[in-house]
Structure 1
Amino acid sequence: MANKNLSLLDYSEITGSAPIALRTHGWRAKCLQRLVRLDLPVPKTVALSFNAVRAIAAGQLPDLGGLVGRFASDQLLSVRPSAENSDWGGPSAVLNIGMNDERHAAISQTHGEAVATALYLGFVQAYAVHVARLDPDLFPLGEPCLPALQAALYDFEKEMEEPFPQDPKRQLAEVLRSMARAWEGTSARLLRQAKGAPEEAGLGLVVQAMAGGFGTSESGAGVIQMIEPVTGAPQVTGRYALGGQDRGAVSNNPQAIYLTRDPRGPSLEDQDPEAFAQLVRHVEVCRLKLREEMQIEFTIVNGQVAVLDALKVQRSSRAAVRVAVALAEDGIITRKEALTRVTPRALSELLHRQVDPRGPREVLARGIPASPGASTGRLVFTSTAAQASASRGEPCILVRRETSPEDIRGMHAAVGVLTERGGMTSHAAVIGRGLGVPCIVGATGIRIDAKNRQLHTGRHVLDEGELITIDGTVGEVLRGAPNMLEPATDRWFNTLLDWADEIRDIGVRANADTPSDARSARNFKAEGIGLCRTEHMFFEDDRLTVMREMIFADTGQDRAAALARLLPMQRSDFKELFSIMQGLPVCIRLFDPPLHEFLPHTREGMKQLADALDKPLSEITRRAEELAEFNPMLGLRGVRLGVTLPEIYEMQARAIFEATIETAKRGEKVVPEIMIPLVSAMREVELVKARIDAVAAAVRVAKGSAFEYRLGVMVETPRAALRAGEIAQHADFMSFGTNDLTQMTYGLSRDDAGRFMSYYIQAGVFPEDPFHVLDTDGVGELLLIAAERGRRARKSLTLSICGEHGGSPESIAFCRAAGFDYVSCSPYRVPVARLAAAQLTLKAEDAAEEMPDLR
């Protein structure tokens, strides 16, 4: 036993029955114990607990004689870190402890001076840098030779004013003390906290017999796993380095050989088929018994395989999905466990093309990754140029200082969007996610020269037409066209989500404004459309002109005439949406934005509009000035337009009802949901509802057909939330638009807050960007108040969330707990929401099972 007076310094040899636990000894020690229990050939190993390492850092040491006595007298040792989580890292491993002049002479006799020198020099270099903390430049890595060893020993003695330690016990003591103190250091603490480790995270250490590095010419070290880490496909993967001692020997080593037979060079399978077969069996046993795809670190000495370590294979998101499903289908884990092994946000990467991580990438700039996926195209600086490029069949990247609603057509035409300004809820970010277009916003260090059509990135100046790639998953702008991975919405992806749908207990719809959006929603198995923003339908060229005619109409009769021309266009839109959704619910938000958004903002645009409408330029300018508002987000928009210019909502309602009737004639029953935006008072709802009911009655008479519809409101103002009890008397449903509700609750502009939000988060004012993660305290309380008051007034009231937060796992958890019926999010976030909802259901089930039975 270790020193009995220092129980904290007890150590345990790792056997199948030793008291080793993840929370006391760390992942490596526990993993080695599991390997021992599987009868894998693990070298003798001793584990020191978290408490022992803390005591060592404080100046106490274990019984070194007893610890070293666990091994053969001439055994070289290694010390490796063992934190609770492998992702938290730890001090660098130190190998070949025990090498000294005597061992150098002995190994020279048995294996040759070159082998002995390489071992001794490697140990001196590692000890000097990682234990004695000497300047690495004094101990450069190079070709091992006797003069280099002698120089290293001389430099060590000169710097430390004492010879290199020869006593193996002292060497081990210094290694243990150095690693323990390194873990307690400030920089190491901050680094692991950045990786998610708690402040009090402990470190264990494992002392292991060296098993490799010298022997016959075939001796060496390597790593092996049974999947390809990017795709997850079954494939023996890894390398083997002759003369190596650990996984570091195969990292970036051009001399490392392949494991399986390969035309590109020699392989372990050719050189030692028996050892190769053993390794494959070991990995298969780990997969079956440890219920995970594992990477094994191994050595081979004189034909004998030793397993030094094993850890979960690092893998891409697409590989994670395939591995989880494959393990479940093989009966190794349950379907429920497979669902918990994939993070919801990882799914968003599978829906888009991605830059292949195995290839090189030249980064030009970085920004906020606002919409995932990667795309390559030629630089363009205007929506017109983007449309022209798309018409030629040339992919393009639209670069703007920041986008506005009039850039919608350019964003549709582009394969990616890059903006100099903006945050996660800026216009470009929201629309990019909705379209499934990769988008980077708030790119630091770039400057757009619109006059010369150039993009300045600091070190480079890029002209319009140059080829770039944006990686919206990580927020990097890349030069040229790197290798890409195609979307992975394959069998594994769909199987996992089908399993999720069997479990989740909250609905998932999609925000879809166009037929293309609706098709994407259907492909991702959304249960309907939770938000169709009709204003996006009016930015097409033919409709935009008619919209402007309506805006400039002098009389109600002229306005009605322009709207009559828009009616068949709107009816066609809704018919197509209903057809695509095949009877699933479609919630249509009536016209919302202020009218000035449909007017040009430049003098040239004004002149073109004057020509198109055959009106004097002065009249166009005057009307534009009349419509301009100091704060348009709080001005004449939403339901206020419906009250003051009722013809717009009447036209839209008629289009919806006529599309409903025509769709029903094809045998597809539709019950459209009509949503009134930006309400703040019950009387607003009453006025709009009366007009819509009147239009419905007129259409029923005119068409001789009956139909049903549901009328609801979009809760985006704090007052609507507080007065939900009154409003619910006239509404079948309430859908919370958390983008505007957050904006109005905080008094923050969602388009401008990104400029200072990072400072607020760093200062601890907000824990997260409230436009990115739902504020469950403030905004959330308004949602709860509205839900409670609304359902008290109308028990059958349907509740949902359709703001940008709708696809967030945190928001789904809140909505589910509050008893909401469904969430609605952009089409490309539907899979994320489906998986998140299932995981929340499983978590709730587990919590219920853990509750004591109080009956």
Structure 2
Amino acid sequence: MATVKKSAKKAAKKAPAAKGTKYVYTWGNGKADGNGSMKALLGGKGANLAEMTRIGLPVPPGFTITTEVCTYFYANKKTYPSSLQAQMEAGVKNMEKIMGCKFGDAKGLPLLVAVRSGARDSMPGMMDTILNLGLNDETVKSLAAVTKNERFAWDCYRRFVQMYGDVVLGVQKTEGEDHEPFEVVIEEFKHEKYHKDIIDSDLTADDQKELVKRFKALVKDRTGKGFPSDPWEQLRGAAGAVFSSWMNDRAIVYRRKYNIPAEWGTAVNVQAMVYGNTGDTSGSGVAFTRNPANGVNEFYGEFLVNAQGEDVVAGVRTPDPVALMKKAMPKPFAELMKVRQILEKHFKDVQDVEFTVQEGKLFMLQTRNGKRTAAAALKFSMDMVKEGLIDWKTAVLRNPADQLDQLLAPIFDVTEAKNAKELAKGLPAGPGAASGKIYLNADRAAAAAERGERVLLVRNETSPEDLRGMIAAEGILTAKGGVSSHAALVARQMGKVCICGASAIDIDYDKKTVKVAGETFKEGDYLSIDGTSGTVYGGELKTAPSEIITGIVDGDKASKKTEKFKSFLKLMEWCEQATRMAVRTNADTPEQTRIALAFGATGIGLTRTEHMFFEGDRIDAMREMILATSLPARKKALAKLLPYQREDFTGIFKALKGLPATIRLLDPPLHEFLPHSKEQQLDLSKKIGVPVETIIQRVHDLHEFNPMLGHRGCRLGIAYPEITEMQARAIFEAAADVAKKKIAVKPEVMIPLVGFSKEFDLQAEIVHAVAKEVMAEKKVTFEYQVGTMIEVPRGALTADEIAKGAEFFSFGTNDLTQTALGISRDDMGAFLMPYIESEVFSKNPFATLDATGVGQLMETAVTKGRSTRPNIKLGICGEHGGDPDSVKFCHKLGLNYVSCSPYRVPVARLAAAQAAIEEGKGAAPAKKAAKKAAKKAPAKKAAAKKVAKKAAKKAAKKK
């Protein structure tokens, strides 16, 4: 955490505050210095309080201390600008004037204030709040006398001492303590006096006085200092505590999760208190203008009679549904319903509000755009378009692309998940829910699936050799690896539920057991995994597929009739209207292709041919080829593989019906295809009649210290041109066969790992020669392209040379990130979190493109490639193609398409549409300004002529 603080200090300007800088923005009585557009300066809460005031809603007066003060605070050893105190005093005077009472008044009604945080982006519950500030031993008596409500006054004082002691003075739970110290004092007092549990609202005025006394003693005991009585000292301390809470652990964790920059800082809002705890005609509530869980158009929230707002959210008492307020307080509820309509009409989005009713009068304390589930976001956006609140483009922007997975993923039955035992946590790598019998070996998993069992494949990590088991499994669980490991990549492509890096699980392959949380699970026992949250459960939990999946992929008629399904289709239709950049899919089979096309993919951006070699008996032929010691023997083995590959490509081309297919030639090093255990090597020896010693020697010979940078990609094709020749023939023979059936076909042959133009030329020469031969043999012509995968820095830097021969570039960003950063995606688990916590990485660079570093290489390749070949086709086929932020970056670069796993296609389509809409919105003001200037130009010209004419006449007269 210390590193994060240092980084925030660095980001802050160390120069002294400029004289005359406005640090305090007031609001109240229908007037406000700020407005809703000033979130960067006033924070979300302050900007919206100003905006609500401006539109005439009942908002208690107050002022906002800007985010610039937070920046100054961290840059200057937690001190404030010299002019701040005077500006705060002016802000307090404005409140005093409106409220008719004075801050710190011990003779009349004292002005009490609430001090709350207010970040630019909403961070619910992450930072600190202090209520009832301004009370001391004198003002509490004055409050009791004026209101004639002693219990209320001392209840406020007790709450204030507790909050201030916790937040500002640091009287918090220490190591070894199970409960918050102030709560311990309360519970001890209740049992001492009443000998039972009672709710806080049942405490008498004398009880509250006793608790204040005990709380102050606790403060003195823990801090060595007395509780501050000067209201101004209290206010300065509270503001400092709110600024300090910007760097508390939970705020840092929240910012990290939602990518909120530390340098933004928080504002502080100081607002006149209104009281929901004065009796049965008062209360507080928190609500949404529509249901944030399912999107239903209903006022949704909670309310408590005779309570302050913190009681509703703190769980001290069980709140009532806000709908019951209609009966308890009909007049304020009716007013609240009017406010609900005003807010939605004004902000044009679902609002999350906090309100207080003081003796029958409604006050609004906060509004912000409500957090929502993906299902609710979809329904909100559709309904608001129908209601005329927003247009369809805004509706597209209202659906977070990174949440769309929630709509597509299967889910666990809510009740079952609640009652199930949570065993471990890992990285959520493939969203959804899956239950099945665990198997620790791909073959056994596949065999179990063939028997009709639902299977979870559990491995330390996966490799291409596990593909059969991965295909068979409902879900994949690994003890190692990250969100871009092999398991994660393949799982997302297949739409499999997946958790990676669940380090708490201990796998024993020999004993066929998994130990976790003190329990031992054998093969055949049930586990359940939630790939959306990364949670592993014991036993079997029921799941239900998304109706969107069953409707689109399976054609289920009942699913197609659901509102969610229809809304999803409408969203995708709007995306189609907005998008400039196409979305393709990474697919290796006709089935994957079919699914991706159903989701709206416009072709294949990556077919990994090596995955095809693991099907059925093909692996044996592949191994024969690798073990061959002569060219004829190698060609003989390749001849066995040719019909398999041709069949696969034929199926894919048929499924595509004329859409393009980018097919990558063999990429991984050959050692990945050979068995590494003694048992497997003996089995292979018997199967293909090669001495086991030869197999062992070949495995040894192929061993590489760093396979990532070794004999793979185009290097294999150059060393063994017969491999490239076989693959090209399989592609083109399939294309010819399909073309003869009057089905359009567009193969794009991609040569991997090119860093030198000569590498590309050598491989392209073989591909072109084979294409010519096949067309002559089959007496058919078809269009095809040959291009390359840009995945090493040199390829990007020499893109102008490579583009002389290459007709397209596809960025393989997984490997480009590894080679650019010098970091292995599979070995970064040990330092990923420290790097994110220290802000070396803002995000995992294998999940979201490193736009600053890797992005520069891509931009260079784009510029250089187009300088040689202006119409070169540009795409991305790395796993980043399904990440919304990365998709938007690719749009900005001007790529023609992104390619991603079939089940990520809707996510990429939504992100691409949003990028286009956002770009258009950014350009709109400029266009308007240009039009305005154009209209003004003739008028300006005419005015200038008039002035010139007058001047000429004047000069003539003088003469």
* Fold in common (TM above 0.5): yes
Match of 2:240 in 1: 181
**By how many angstroms is 1:186 displaced?**
7.0
Q: Please, which moves more after superposition, 126-135 or 508-517? A: 126-135
Cα offsets for 1:89-121 (capped at 9, x unmatched): 5432414966734554676x77xx876775665
Equivalent residue of 1:185, what SS?
helix
1:488-537 Cα distance to aligned partner (Å, 9 max, x none): 74333333333233223222211111223212321221111011011101
Q: What's 2:195 paired with?
A: none
How far apart are the structure 1 equivalents of 2:110 and 2:339?
25
> Given the superposition, is the C-alpha separation of residues 435 and 302 from structure 1 closer, same or farther in structure 2, using an over 3 Å criterion?
same
Name the structure 2 match of 1:661.
736
Q: CA distance change for structure 1 residues 519 and 171 in 2, over 3 Å: closer, same or farther? A: farther
- Cα 1:115–1:597 change in 2 (3 A) is same
More displaced 10-residue stretch of structure 1: 535-544 or 151-160 = 151-160
Q: 1:57 to 1:446 in 2, by over 3 A?
A: farther
Instruction: Within 5 Å, give how 1:194-213 maps onto structure 2.
Output: 195=255, 196=260, 198-199=262-263, 201-213=265-277
Q: Tell me the amino acid that sits aligned with residue 83 of structure 1.
A: G
Report matched runs for 1:138-217 at 5 Å.
139-140=185-186, 143=198, 144-146=203-205, 148-156=207-215, 158=217, 172-173=231-232, 175-185=234-244, 188=247, 192=251, 195=255, 196=260, 198-199=262-263, 201-216=265-280
Provide the rounded CA distance (Å) in 2 between the counterparts of 1:128 and 1:555. 81
Compute the TM-score of the two structures, normalised by the length of structure 1: 0.86
CA distance in 2, matches of 1:44, 1:623: 80
Report what 2:194 is aligned to: none
Query: Displacement, 1:587?
Result: 1.0
Q: What amino acid does structure 2 have at the position aligned with 1:290? A: F
Over 3 Å counting, the alpha-carbon distance change for 1:370 and 1:146 in structure 2 is: same
**How far off is 1:589 after superposition?**
1.4
TM-superposition CA deviations, 1:146-178 (whole Å, max 9, x none): 55324224325656789xxxxxx9675454233
Equivalent residue, structure 2, for 1:246: 309
Are 1:100 and 2:143 matched, yes or no?
no
Query: Which letter does structure 2 place at the counterpart of 1:71?
Result: M
Task: Tell me if 1:294 matches 2:351.
Answer: yes
TM-score, length-scaled by structure 2: 0.77
Q: Indicate if the aligned counterparts of 1:121 and 1:148 stay in contact, CA closer than 8 A.
A: no
Q: Given the superposition, is the C-alpha separation of residues 155 and 756 from structure 1 closer, same or farther in structure 2, using an over 3 Å criterion?
A: closer
State the identity %: 37
* Partner Cα distance (2:352, 2:792) in 1: 53
Tell me which of 114, 120, 133 is aligned to 1:79. 114
Separation in 2, partners of 1:530, 1:445: 37
Alpha-carbon distance between aligned partners in 1 of 2:770 and 2:63, rounded to the nearest angstrom: 79
CA distance in 1, matches of 2:50, 2:215: 37
Equivalents in 2 of 1:367, 1:34: separation in Å? 43
The separation in 2 between residues aligned to 1:802 and 1:725, in whole angstroms, is 20
- What corresponds to 1:283 in structure 2? 340
Distance 1:29 1:687 in 2: 64
Give the superposed CA RMSD: 3.9
Establish whether residue 27 from structure 1 lines up as the match of residue 62 from structure 2.
no
Shift, 1:798, TM fit: 1.8
Q: 1:131 to 1:484 in 2, by over 3 A?
A: farther
Indicate how the Cα distance of structure 1 residues 819 and 97 shifts in structure 2: closer, same or farther if over 3 A, else same.
closer
Return the letter of the residue paired with 2:728.
Answer: A
CA distance in structure 1 between the aligned counterparts of 2:493 and 2:645, rounded to whole angstroms: 20
Structure 1 position 230 matched with structure 2 position 293? yes
Give 1:428 deviation, angstroms.
1.9
Structure 1 residues 771 and 132: alpha-carbon distance in aligned structure 2, compared to 1, 3 A threshold: closer
How far 1:301 sits from its partner (Å)? Answer: 5.8
Distance in structure 1 (CA, Å) of the matches to 2:287 and 2:132: 21
Q: 1:428 to 1:350 in 2, by over 3 A?
A: same
Report the CA distance between 1:132 and its aligned residue. Answer: 6.3
Q: Which moved more, 1:481-490 or 1:340-349?
A: 481-490
Pick closer, same or farther for the CA change 1:431–1:138 going to 2, 3 Å: closer
**CA pair 452-193 structure 1, distance change in 2 beyond 3 A:** closer
| Counterpart in the other structure of 1:264 | none
Separation in 1 of the partners of 2:378 and 2:127? 29
One-letter amino acid of the structure 2 residue matched with residue 240 of structure 1: F
Contact 2:182 2:215 in 1 (8 A): no
Cα distance change, pair 385–80 in 1 and its aligned pair in 2 (3 A): farther
* Mapping for residues 435-454 of structure 1, pairs under 5 Å: 435-454=494-513
Aligned residue number for residue 166 of structure 1: none
CA contact 1:738–1:803 (8 Å) conserved in 2: yes
Compare 403-412 and 82-91 and name the one that shifted more.
Answer: 82-91
* CA shift for structure 1 position 250: 6.0
User: Is 1:409 aligned with 2:468?
Assistant: yes
Amino acid at match of 2:63: A
The answer on 1:393 being equivalent to 2:452 is yes
Q: Which amino acid aligns with 1:236?
A: F
How many Å separate the matches in 2 of 1:179 and 1:258?
Answer: 32
The answer to whether the Cα contact below 8 Å between 1:25 and 1:82 also exists between their aligned partners in 2 is no
Post-superposition CA distance 1:406-447 (Å, at most 9, x none): 011111122222222223432222222222223333333433
Structure 2 unmatched runs, 5+:
1-18, 71-79, 101-107, 172-180, 191-197, 222-227, 549-564, 935-959
Instruction: Summarize deviations over 1:27-76 as a string: whole Å, max 9, x none.
Output: 33443444445554x25423354389957997776276774453255477
Measured in 1, the distance between the counterparts of 2:588 and 2:848 equals 23
**Does 2:523 match 1:495?**
no
Q: State the Cα distance separating 1:603 from its structure 2 match.
A: 1.2
Question: Aligned residue for 2:580?
Answer: 505
CA distance, structure 2, for counterparts of residue 179 and residue 133 of structure 1 = 12
Mapped to 1, the partners of 2:130 and 2:414 lie a distance apart of: 27
8 Å CA contact 1:183, 1:189 repeated in 2: no
Work out the CA distance in 2 between the residues paired with 1:125 and 1:770.
43
Per-residue displacement from partner, 1:738-775 (whole Å, max 9, x unpaired)? 32333334444333244445555666666655434434
Matched, 1:16 2:75: no
| Whole-angstrom distance in 2 between the partners of 1:130 and 1:759 | 28
Alignment of 1:39-118 (within 5 A): 39-40=56-57, 42=58, 44-50=60-66, 62=89, 67-68=95-96, 70-71=98-99, 74=109, 77-85=112-120, 87-88=122-123, 89-95=126-132, 100-101=140-141, 103-104=143-144
Instruction: Report the alpha carbon displacement of residue 723 of structure 1 after superposing the two structures with TM.
Output: 4.3
TM-superposed CA distance for 1:733, in Å, is 1.8
For residues 780 and 52 of structure 1, the distance between their equivalents in structure 2, rounded to whole angstroms, comes to 34
The residue type equivalent to 1:297 in the other structure is E
* Range with greater deviation from structure 2 (482-491 or 607-616): 482-491
Answering whether residue 622 of structure 2 is matched by residue 575 of structure 1, we say no
Listed one character per residue, the Cα deviations across residues 338-367 of structure 1 (whole Å, up to 9, x for unaligned) are 333333322233332356889637543333
Deviation at 1:564, TM superposition (A): 3.7
Answer yes or no: is the 8 Å Cα contact 1:27–1:82 preserved in 2.
no
The CA distance in 1 between the partners of 2:42 and 2:791, in whole Å, is: 52
Shift of residue 811 of structure 1?
Answer: 3.9
Residues in 2 aligned to 1:776 and 1:276: alpha-carbon distance in whole angstroms? 50
Is 1:431 aligned with 2:490? yes
User: Structure 1: which amino acid aligns with 2:575?
Assistant: A
